[in-house]
Amino acid sequence: MSHPLTPQEIAWLDQERRRTADTVRRHGIAIEFVWGDDGQRRPSFAYSIGLHGIGHPEVLVVGLSPHDAGAVINTVAERVRAGHILTVGEVVTFDDWTHRVTVEEVPNPGEILFSANGHYGLPPFASVPAFQLTYDDLEGRFPWDEGYSRPSWRQPRPGGFRA
């Protein structure tokens, strides 16, 4: 059972929502980065806030550093804002990153995209949709390929984790 929010927590949430709205207005998207805990095998993850406002699912990456997550999300969001529509199964390449990503549907976005849902005023059961951008390893293998070199908990399959 959750506890009622304190006035300080309410004020902080209000400030965060204003900061997010301002960032989306100025840049087209905001990026929410959530630190993981390697000791508990909970990966860090990041997602966009703002693509839903132009009729596109938000994008999510799991297990990347803040720098790499931000670069991937910003590059993909820029392409979407320029008119590209991501499709499930599509493989996306980057000019300045050696990895590729494939686009996968996230079946449980309401358990992950709390800030995006807060931005749009949506409850978890009516969450904004999201695509997970699943990246390959240094040998070009994706998590479902034999010999994939990263631990499975670092980049769980869509639906395999929650915030």
| Three-class SS of 40-64 | HCECCEEEEECCHHHCCCEEEEECC
pLDDT(11) > 90: no
pLDDT(134) > 80: yes
* pLDDT on residue 13: 79
pLDDT(79) > 70: yes
Tell me the whole-structure pTM to 2 decimals.
0.90
CA–CA distance, 38 with 96 (Å, rounded to integer): 27
* pLDDT on residue 1: 53
CB under 8 Å to 107, separation ≥6 — which residues?
Answer: 158, 159
